[in-house]
Structure 1
């Protein structure tokens, strides 16, 4: 039994061709487990006793463009969006519901090809990225981006995945 809290994952396929949903769910659980382990051990992130819930919504580009337009005034698809259930700052104690992570299949597939990496690796990265947003991490300011990217890279390394940022400047 692990010595860190778990996450309760609720997965919903809302749109798109996601293939083996059980495999995607297992991928998400592995990525979230690594993220929880890292945050609780290295960032001293407090967690409630009961595993908080994360909703993972699997969408397509059309659905994502609608959501992105409605919530961010950007009428185009994006790879991942996160919607925290409650405002949280890094290090703050989450409630029973962390929030939603939404993934867009076609954008993820296109990006994976452009990046020359397997789709599953890109999905793992985006789940970790979205999960950190639920905890209040962001990449608007350079110093915040450096902190978030360092945590992401550390988590992905623990999963045996490469640094998605490499030699790039923080975004």
Structure 2
């Protein structure tokens, strides 16, 4: 799924997303779906699945399968707003969120403990550094 406004706002977005997802899986033969949606769609999913009636930057839906990891959904307006407020490029922030969401599909979780959060963030930093992206934290 690709909200047309993504392509208009960021030419080459599909390539950028594929590159970030490949980096997160360390180029292993894994499949996943990345949906580039708008805030309205992500808000509806977040309300339905997490009981939070507001948009969020990224949602992850692990499949529980080995070869198909699951789905990652990103909210365009939220991603742009966060990038601007954090002084990042939209491309770097989107890449970070694709990596973050993909790691969730692979079983990483930053909400279970501080140690798990630190492990996940350290892995994100290493992956993003390989992509030439500065530490997002």
Query: TM-score by structure 1 length?
Result: 0.74
What residue is the counterpart of 1:68 in the other structure? 46
What residue is the counterpart of 1:56 in the other structure? 34
Q: Which has the larger radius of gyration?
A: 1
The answer to whether 1:19 aligns with 2:16 is no
Q: In the TM superposition, what is the alpha-carbon distance from 1:146 to its structure 2 partner?
A: 0.3
Structure 1 residue runs of 5 or longer lacking an equivalent are 1-11, 41-46, 87-93, 166-171
Contact 2:30–2:69 (CA under 8 A) maintained in structure 1: yes
Q: Within 2, Cα distance between the matches of 1:22 and 1:113?
A: 18
Q: Deviations over 1:48-98 (max 9, x none)?
A: xxx321101111111111000000000000000000011xxxxxxx52311
| RMSD, aligned CA | 1.6
Q: Within 2, Cα distance between the matches of 1:31 and 1:72?
A: 25
What residue is the counterpart of 2:115 in the other structure? 143
What residue is the counterpart of 2:17 in the other structure? 28
Tell me, what secondary structure is at the counterpart of 2:32?
strand
Q: Deviations over 1:76-129 (max 9, x none)?
A: 00000000011xxxxxxx523110000000000100100111101000000000
Q: Within 2, Cα distance between the matches of 1:24 and 1:16?
A: 11
Contact 2:25–2:102 (CA under 8 A) maintained in structure 1: no
Structure 1 runs (4+) greater than 3 angstroms displaced:
none
Tell me, what secondary structure is at the counterpart of 2:36?
strand
Query: TM-score by structure 2 length?
Result: 0.92
Q: In the TM superposition, what is the alpha-carbon distance from 1:22 to its structure 2 partner?
A: 6.4
Count of aligned residue pairs for this structure pair: 135
In proportion to residue count, which structure has more helix?
A: 2
Q: Which of the residues 122, 131, 135 maps onto 1:159?
A: 131
